[in-house]
Structure 1
Amino acid sequence: MYRVLLADDEGIAIDSLTYIMDKEFHDKCEVRSARSGRAVIEMAETFRPDIAVMDIRMPGIDGIEAIREIRKFSPATVFIVLTAYDKFSFAKDALDLGVMSFLTKPLDRKVFVDTMTRAMAGIDRTREQRSRELSNREKLDAVVPMIENGLVYSLLLLDNSPQVTASYCNLLEIPESYGFVALLACGDVASGHENPEQPKAPAPLTGSGDHLGNPIGTGIRLQKYYAKIREILKEYSAHAVIGQIMMNKIPVFIPYEAARMDYVERVRVIDRVRRIISRLKEETGVNYRMGIGSVMPLSDMRTSYREALRSLCENNETVSHADDLPVSCTYEQDYPIDLEKQLFDSVKNGNIRDAGLYADQFFTWMEKTQAATYENNVRLKTIEFVLWAEHIAYQSGGFGLYRFADRGDYLNIISDYTVAELHTWFVTKIRDAAEKIADKAKSSASSLTHRAKEYIDSHYSRDLSLDDVSRELNISPYYFSKIFKEEEGVTFIEYLTGIRLSHAKKLLAENKLPVKEICAAVGYQDPNYFSRLFRRSEGVSPTEYRESR
């Protein structure tokens, strides 16, 4: 149905246009009319026409001015201008207002019908496009929470691959390199906490560790409010990434531009979160608390998560921030804690180059700022870091068998080496620890890949899937797919296809079995699919390949 508004100061013209609309378009259109500029504007405000056929010359407000007014509240209306005068005298104003077509009086019926048909077709296209946009938005609204949960899961629970994180951030249009975790917990208020004006003594820890009772029951109740919680949390930050409910908690990752959050900003964040929690309680009838972790690089969100959890556990405020809690260890102002962290992160990740680089930078800092006054402390810090790096490598299995006496000469080295010699030894030992971890990971990946290839080579003729091989190796499909691609440079499917086509070519060269039987012999059930794969790989069909041998 199209809403059509006819505007002309001549009654006979209105009657003529109405007759044509009725005869040509029948019940496809709802038609109304007006005979002055003011009347057409007032009618358009309530009728909101899809198409308006406007005479230029009307008493009072003319057609051009009427179009201009209607455009303000009904921008999608398609305008067709009628005029008994030279249309070019009105062309500029009309074109500026987006008029679709000019029709001159006396009106040619066929031209009018063709013009209306084109206008209706344009409206149909606009409606279809709008429908597609709404459909896409619905799909996006359904998919975004899954993508967000994937990012939260990757940041907090998996090995936080930079490539995976970058992919998620790209999908969610997150440009920031830093962020922090806010952990929202729900539950029943513990006894004695009902009055927020009274001081709150620390409550015994519940099973959830957040001083809120009945975590499982409230977590189940929370499911029906999840969409509303997302909506309210998004008001805090449009880029807030919200995970799924875990028992009675929802992890929220909030991107942040800077590497640190100053005091003023921290207070502002806490105040705003308090308001959000009050609104959440009003909307859902559930009690909430929130713990907030420190700003960290994306690679260290698990630390921010642990801080957020600790914030929930170590006091019973509605909102608590990790930076406000008593800490077990603080560092003097000039101590390069970030450099220390980068050093050990590189060791853990088996990144030999970075481990050596950060070790060199850290020892250089000690030489320049500590060695002259605190040389013994430099020696102690050297052995502390080396032993801890090797501990990390031992824990990963990189050093193999642990022998109690393996490091018996370290005390002599620490005592006897000059600071310059100690610098070289320090960097070497840190690099060695990272290298052991890298070699272990590579050896493990190579072993798994070798076993996978053996299994594929022996079972390629079956209906073999990624899950089948992963199950045989007793590792997850995701991990197997990742290490196989890294080791072989091709995906599992590409490797399997190559093996199958290689055997198919051997069978075709023997020129005995029909192509259909060869297809089945190498693991394909659909001959047409087999032929397409073969042609894509070899440039010819299986039959043509056989004939060319």
Structure 2
Amino acid sequence: MIKLLIADDEHLVAESIRFIIEKYTEGVEIAGIARSGREAIEKALELKPDIIFMDIRMPGIDGIEAIRQIKATNGEVLFVIVTAYEYFNYAKDAVNLGVHEYLLKPVNKHRVVETIHTASQSILTKRRAIQREMLLKEKMNKIIPHMEGQFIYSQLLSGRMINDIAFYEDVFGMGLAHGYVMLAIVEESESYGREETLKNSLDKQRFYDIFSLELKSLIPCLIGPPMLDRTVAYIPVNMDEDSYTARNMAIETAQRLVNRVKKHINIRYKIGIGRRYDIGDFLKSSNEAYMAAAVANKDSVIHYEDVILSVNTVDTYPVNKEKMLIHKMLTGDLDGVLESFEEIFWWLTVNYKEDMDKIKSKLLELLVVIKRSIPYEVKENDISEQGQFIQLLRIENISELKASYSNFLKDITLAIGENREKELNGLILKSLKYINSSYHKNISLDDVAKEVNMSYHYFSKFFKETTGKNFVDYLTEVRIERSKELLQDLSASIKEICHEIGYSDPNYFCKIFKKVTGMTPTEFRSNSLSQEVI
């Protein structure tokens, strides 16, 4: 709906315009009528019209001045000048104010209708353009966080220079060629039960949300998705700034962030800051940030260049992360596998720095552990230990080493999943075969679970997820289908058929049969016979 305001001190003119618009146009609402320039300004502020029919000569503030003041607060409104012939030249000056059209008094019906039509089309076109722009912006606002997370995650995994950096700079609206990594590590709190564990997870997610929101309000940056106990942010900078000033600015930003975060959540964490590099050395800055945050220190914000490390100090290898990686691998959790490896690789690069031989040695040890921990079938078919050893030994670039090992873990995890699926398919076929051959016996879910060597509870869930039916329903379906076949033999009694399919109580059999088929066994037999006769 288009809202229109009429500003004219001549009652007859104003009512004539109102009459023409209401009778001969559609989609236009007369929002109000003003009798003076001052009243036109006040009503324009109050009613926010889309179109204003403005008389030039009115008492007090004239039409031209009223247009100037209204446009100062509402630049989108369209003005149509209404003037007597003797003021025509005066009215033409209004074109400089962006007036849409001017009409001579007395107003002509066709000119008014035509003017309303063109003004409405102009407004509707502008509205559609705004709607398209808002829709596009909304879509981009939904997509950009995913692209942002993908950008950070890809840099953490591969550490390679992005070829189309200009594309990402355009999407994110910031330069990305140089910058540093700011990394927050949430300290693990003791957990004694399921509720505490759930609370810890919720606190970490809330911390990530607050950290992201507050850091983005302080400085242009990209923030990756939360990974286990850490959050990674990439902050673009100008490399022309001297190193000392840049370091202090980064620390100041982090400290301001800490002050903001503590207003929202009480959680223990540390922020580590890496040095500035080209985007191609993102992983290096990330490792430095991790090293800084991991150092035992009472400070909540630590810059890598302020960290004093002993050359001989090496933390204990994270065996728990290794166990977690293997567990995630056996359960088919690929994201969990890659995140656990991220932890292990971070530890290796922090403690062995750029000593490729030591890092390779640890990765080869991990490969042996993986080989011993996974099922035999996968070992023989999908792991070429010698080939993997040779490939690792040939790599001399830390980023390539990480990417190669990540791909290796991905292949093994997928292979385990495929083998597990084949195994489970074999087990379900075995269980169905057992049921179909033993339905006439008094078998139970526990009997079938033993047959396929599964626990009672696990098999119950497995059977339902695989077949879409629980055990009792499937067994009943098999028995009823067999009873339908037996009912075709008139020499067999209902009681005999009942015992033949595994039921001991004929009344119970009849009840179940009717529930499944909608008929009693006798009715079913009669109905089948009548159809044969026809």
State how far apart, in whole Å, the 2-side matches of 1:12 and 1:225 are: 67
| Displacement after TM superposition at 1:166 (Å) | 5.6
Q: How does 1:261-410 map to 2 (within 5 A)?
A: 261-284=242-265, 286-314=267-295, 315-328=297-310
Residue identity opposite 2:35 in structure 1:
R
Deviates more, 1:214-223 or 1:80-89: 214-223
Q: Where does residue 218 of structure 2 map in the other structure?
A: 236
Q: Does the CA-based 8 Å contact 2:18-2:30 persist in structure 1?
A: no
Q: Does the CA-based 8 Å contact 2:84-2:106 persist in structure 1?
A: yes
State how far apart, in whole Å, the 2-side matches of 1:111 and 1:103 are: 8
Q: Where does structure 2 lack aligned partners over 5 or more consecutive residues?
A: 312-354, 365-393, 397-413, 418-534
Q: Does the CA-based 8 Å contact 2:83-2:91 persist in structure 1?
A: no
Q: How does 1:212-251 map to 2 (within 5 A)?
A: 217-223=199-205, 226=208, 228-238=210-220, 240-251=221-232
Q: Does the CA-based 8 Å contact 2:179-2:277 persist in structure 1?
A: yes
Residue identity opposite 1:55 in structure 2:
D
| Displacement after TM superposition at 1:24 (Å) | 2.6
Q: Does the CA-based 8 Å contact 1:154-1:165 persist in structure 2?
A: no
| Displacement after TM superposition at 1:101 (Å) | 0.6
State how far apart, in whole Å, the 2-side matches of 1:92 and 1:20 are: 24
| Displacement after TM superposition at 1:297 (Å) | 1.8
State how far apart, in whole Å, the 2-side matches of 1:225 and 1:109 are: 65
2:20 is equivalent to residue 38 of structure 1: no
| Displacement after TM superposition at 1:32 (Å) | 0.1
Secondary structure of the structure 1 residue equivalent to 2:16: helix
| Displacement after TM superposition at 1:215 (Å) | 8.8
Q: Does the CA-based 8 Å contact 2:31-2:47 persist in structure 1?
A: no
Q: Does the CA-based 8 Å contact 1:281-1:288 persist in structure 2?
A: no
> Percent identity of the aligned residues?
32
| Displacement after TM superposition at 1:394 (Å) | 12
Q: Does the CA-based 8 Å contact 2:178-2:278 persist in structure 1?
A: yes
Q: Where does residue 145 of structure 1 map in the other structure?
A: 145
Q: Where does residue 126 of structure 2 map in the other structure?
A: 126
2:10 is equivalent to residue 4 of structure 1: no
Secondary structure of the structure 2 residue equivalent to 1:80: strand
Q: Does the CA-based 8 Å contact 1:281-1:287 persist in structure 2?
A: no
Residue identity opposite 2:304 in structure 1:
A
Q: Where does residue 22 of structure 1 map in the other structure?
A: 22
| Displacement after TM superposition at 1:143 (Å) | 0.9
* Structure 1 residues 5 and 286, CA gap change in structure 2 (3 angstroms): farther
The C-alpha deviation readout for 1:361-418, integer Å capped at 9, x for no partner, is xxxxxxxxxxxxxxxxxxxxxxxxxxx8999999999xxxxxxxxxxxxxxxxxxxxx
* Structure 1 residues 215 and 161, CA gap change in structure 2 (3 angstroms): farther
Secondary structure of the structure 2 residue equivalent to 1:317: coil
Q: Where does residue 498 of structure 2 map in the other structure?
A: none
Secondary structure of the structure 2 residue equivalent to 1:153: helix
* Structure 1 residues 148 and 286, CA gap change in structure 2 (3 angstroms): same
Q: Does the CA-based 8 Å contact 2:274-2:287 persist in structure 1?
A: yes
Q: Where does residue 258 of structure 1 map in the other structure?
A: 239
| Displacement after TM superposition at 1:304 (Å) | 1.1
| Displacement after TM superposition at 1:62 (Å) | 1.0
| Displacement after TM superposition at 1:177 (Å) | 2.5
State how far apart, in whole Å, the 2-side matches of 1:61 and 1:264 are: 58
Q: Where does residue 179 of structure 2 map in the other structure?
A: 179
Residue identity opposite 1:103 in structure 2:
L
Q: Does the CA-based 8 Å contact 1:87-1:104 persist in structure 2?
A: no
Q: Where does residue 336 of structure 1 map in the other structure?
A: none
Residue identity opposite 2:17 in structure 1:
L
* Structure 1 residues 139 and 389, CA gap change in structure 2 (3 angstroms): closer
Residue identity opposite 1:19 in structure 2:
F
The C-alpha deviation readout for 1:283-305, integer Å capped at 9, x for no partner, is 34545431111112211111111
The two structures, once aligned, show a CA RMSD in angstroms of 4.1
State how far apart, in whole Å, the 2-side matches of 1:111 and 1:236 are: 55
Residue identity opposite 2:254 in structure 1:
V
* Structure 1 residues 325 and 392, CA gap change in structure 2 (3 angstroms): closer
Q: Where does residue 135 of structure 1 map in the other structure?
A: 135
Secondary structure of the structure 2 residue equivalent to 1:90: helix
State how far apart, in whole Å, the 1-side matches of 2:359 and 2:230 are: 31
Q: How does 1:84-123 map to 2 (within 5 A)?
A: 84-85=84-85, 89-90=89-90, 93-123=93-123
* Structure 1 residues 47 and 243, CA gap change in structure 2 (3 angstroms): same
* Structure 1 residues 117 and 179, CA gap change in structure 2 (3 angstroms): same
Q: Where does residue 531 of structure 1 map in the other structure?
A: none
State how far apart, in whole Å, the 2-side matches of 1:288 and 1:88 are: 73
State how far apart, in whole Å, the 2-side matches of 1:3 and 1:283 are: 45
Secondary structure of the structure 1 residue equivalent to 2:175: coil
Q: Does the CA-based 8 Å contact 1:260-1:295 persist in structure 2?
A: no
Secondary structure of the structure 2 residue equivalent to 1:290: strand
- State the TM-score, normalized to the length of structure 1: 0.53
Secondary structure of the structure 2 residue equivalent to 1:220: helix
* Structure 1 residues 254 and 69, CA gap change in structure 2 (3 angstroms): same
State how far apart, in whole Å, the 1-side matches of 2:63 and 2:282 are: 63
Q: Where does residue 333 of structure 1 map in the other structure?
A: none
Q: Where does residue 163 of structure 1 map in the other structure?
A: 163
Q: Where does structure 1 lack aligned partners over 5 or more consecutive residues?
A: 188-204, 209-213, 330-387, 398-435, 439-470, 475-549
* Structure 1 residues 207 and 295, CA gap change in structure 2 (3 angstroms): farther
Q: Does the CA-based 8 Å contact 1:219-1:249 persist in structure 2?
A: no
| Displacement after TM superposition at 1:163 (Å) | 1.7
Moved over 4 A (4+): 164-167, 205-208, 214-217, 224-228, 284-288, 388-397
State how far apart, in whole Å, the 2-side matches of 1:248 and 1:215 are: 13
* Structure 1 residues 284 and 71, CA gap change in structure 2 (3 angstroms): farther
| Displacement after TM superposition at 1:129 (Å) | 1.2
Give the greater-gyration-radius structure (CA). Answer: 2
* Structure 1 residues 164 and 156, CA gap change in structure 2 (3 angstroms): farther
Q: How does 1:375-454 map to 2 (within 5 A)?
A: none
Secondary structure of the structure 1 residue equivalent to 2:31: strand
State how far apart, in whole Å, the 1-side matches of 2:395 and 2:290 are: 30
Residue identity opposite 2:6 in structure 1:
L
| Displacement after TM superposition at 1:55 (Å) | 0.6
| Displacement after TM superposition at 1:279 (Å) | 1.4
State how far apart, in whole Å, the 2-side matches of 1:95 and 1:259 are: 50
State how far apart, in whole Å, the 2-side matches of 1:259 and 1:32 are: 60
The C-alpha deviation readout for 1:66-117, integer Å capped at 9, x for no partner, is 0000001111111111111356523563122111111111110111011112
